[in-house]
Structure 1
C-alpha cells in the first residue's frame, strides 16, 4: 500500500465513521467525495463492510464526559474507553491498514538502547530525537510519516498544511500543525505533551486539538487532557525531568529510559507523587543521592539495578 492509497483509505474511514452517525446530514459533501475519484466508492464500501463485520464491538451509547479528575495533576476531562461514533471499529480498521503499510520493504526501524539517544533528520526542518530504550519505524520514501512502537521521542516538525506530518502510536494517530511535541509509549499507555504549535489526536475520529501547553494521556482508564508547562515537554533533552504531580511509577520508567539503569519501586513508593525538577546525571549513585530524597524516597542498590522505597535516606 503506497502513501496515496493509505491517505485515500483514511479519508474513506472518516466517511464510514461520519455516515454511521444517526445525526449525519452532510450527504451533499459525501456524494461529492464519492464522485471525485472512481476509487472512492469501492474503498468506502470495503471499509463499511469491514465495519459491519465488527459491529459487535461498537458502543451502543454515546461517549459522555465525566466530572474533572480528582487528581490535581490531571486538570482536564476524562473520556471513557468507548470511542465516538464507532471509533473502536475505526481503530481496528486503522490497525488493519497500518499492517499492510508498515510491512513494506522501504520501512526501516531505528532502536536505541536504554541511556542512548539518537537524532533522525527526516526533511528540512523536521527531526525526531529518540530517548533511550526507544523503537521507531520510518519510511524511506515518505519523510512525513513515522511510528513510535515503544519508548520516547521528541518531534520538531516543519509545518506543511498540504502534507501534514503524522505519527502512529498503537491505534492512535497524531497529526501536527507546525509543532514541537514529545510522545511516550510505555506498554499500552501513551502520553503526549505539546510545547509549540498544535497536534491533533485522531483527526478522523475524536479530533482532539492539543495546542502548546496541553498534554494527553491514554491508558486503561481512558483519555485525559491536561495542562503541561511547555518547558517540561521533552525536558530530557536538556538533562532534566520536570513533573507536576506525576506518579513515581511513571518517573521511574522515565529515569530508567534516560539513564539506562534498571529501576523498580516498592508498591508504596510507586503510588507516591512528585512535583518538581530532577537533574539527570550519568553516575547512578550521585544521581539517586540527589533525586531520591527530592521525591521523599530512598534508593537502594539491588544487584545491577536500583530500588526506590519509602523513607528519606542516602542511597546505598
Structure 2
C-alpha cells in the first residue's frame, strides 16, 4: 500500500483522534490497520495526541458566541470543537514532527492496539506492546525503564556490561537473553524465554532461567512468586497469541485492551472467574471476545464501544 505523505498522515491522524472522542466510535480494527500500514503512522499519531493533552492551555478557537447562542453552543459535540482546535493548533506545528520537536525520543508511549519495536545502539531490541510507556537514556545505552504496560526484551550479550530494566522499584539484570516484562497495578511480572536474568540482585536476588517467571507486588506484597512458564508462549502477544493458566478475567481483559484495543469490562458476578486457555487475536474482535466467553464459561454482551462479561 502506498505510503501517505507526511501532511496526509497528519490529517488522517487528526481524523482518527477526533473520531475516537465520539462515544459511538467503534472502528478500532480500521485504526489498528492504519497504524500497521506504515511505521511512521504511530509516530505521527503520538505527536498529534500530545497536542490533545495540551488543548486546555490553548486560546479559544471557536468563533465568539453571544449570550443568546450559549444554550445552543452547549449542544456542539466535542468532536466538532476538538477537530477545530487540533486543526488550528497544527497551523503552528507544521514541520515540527520532521524536526523532532514533537514528543520526547527517550520516552515511548504506545496507544492501545499499537505495537512498536526499538533497536538500541548495542543491538538489543525492545518490542513494546500497546498501552505502554518505555523510557530509555542516551547516556545509559544498556538501560530501559518500563513505566507501565508490557515489553519484550532481546538483549545483546556483552561481557561485564549487563543490561538493566527497571519496572516500578525493581531492577531486572540481564547478561544476554530474551524476556518479557509486564507492569500493571503496582505489580511486576517477568517471564524468561532464553538465558538468565536476576530479579533485584541487591534485595531478593531471584535467579530466573529460561522457562521460569515471577510475579511480584510493590511494597509489603510479600516475596516474589516464582512460576513455570512455557517458553514458546513468552511474548506471544507479538504474534497475536495470549495464553493463560489461571489468570483472573480482569487481567485477561487488560491484556486484550493493551494488545488489541479490545474494551472488555467484567461484571461483579464474573470477577472471581479464573481463566485457562489460549486466545488468538482475530481481526474480527468479536470472535476473540466470543472465544474468551466460551472458554471461561461467561456470556459476552456488547456495550457501547466494547463488551461486558457476565455469568
Which of 165, 172, 187 is residue 189 of structure 1 equivalent to? Answer: 187
- Partner Cα distance (2:205, 2:161) in 1: 17
Q: Cα RMSD over matched residues?
A: 1.6
- TM superposition shift of 1:180: 0.6
Residue 161 of structure 1 deviates from its aligned partner by: 2.9
Mapped to 1, the partners of 2:269 and 2:233 lie a distance apart of 26
Contact 2:132 2:149 in 1 (8 A): yes
Query: Post-superposition shift, 1:286?
Result: 2.1
Higher mean alpha-carbon deviation, 190-199 vs 287-296, is at 287-296
The partner residue of 2:131 within 127, 130, 133 is: 133
Question: What is the alpha-carbon distance in structure 1 between the residues aligned to residue 180 and residue 128 of structure 2?
Answer: 10
Q: 8 Å contact 2:149–2:258 — kept in the other structure? A: yes
* Gapped regions of structure 1 (runs ≥ 5): 1-105, 311-316
TM score, norm. by length of structure 1: 0.62
Q: Is the 8 A contact 1:107 1:139 kept in 2?
A: no
Q: Are the aligned partners of 2:161 and 2:175 in contact in 1 as well (CA < 8 Å)?
A: no
Q: Deviations over 1:30-70 (max 9, x none)?
A: xxxxxxxxxxxxxxxxxxxxxxxxxxxxxxxxxxxxxxxxx
Secondary structure in structure 2 of the residue aligned to 1:251: helix
How do residues 1-316 of structure 1 correspond to structure 2 at under 5 angstroms?
108-219=106-217, 221-222=221-222, 223-310=224-311
* CA drift at 1:123: 3.0
Shift of 1:261: 2.3
Which secondary structure does the structure 2 equivalent of 1:291 belong to?
A: helix
Moved over 4 A (4+): none
Deviation at 1:308, TM superposition (A): 1.5
Counterpart Cα distance in 1 of 2:172 and 2:190? 9
Please list the CA deviations of residues 194-240 of structure 1 after superposition, one character each: whole Å capped at 9, or x if unmatched.
Answer: 11101100112221101111111112642211111111211101211
Q: CA deviation at 1:267?
A: 2.6
Distance of 1:242 and 1:287 partners within structure 2: 13
Aligned length: 205
Deviation of residue 107 (structure 1)? 7.6
Q: CA deviation at 1:187?
A: 1.9
Cα offset, 1:124, TM superposition: 4.5
> Which whole-Å CA distance do the structure 1 matches of 2:310 and 2:217 have between them?
25
Aligned to 1:90: none
Secondary structure of 1:287 counterpart? helix
Give the match for residue 40 of structure 1: none
Shift of residue 178 of structure 1? 1.6
User: Alpha-carbon deviation of 1:177?
Assistant: 2.5
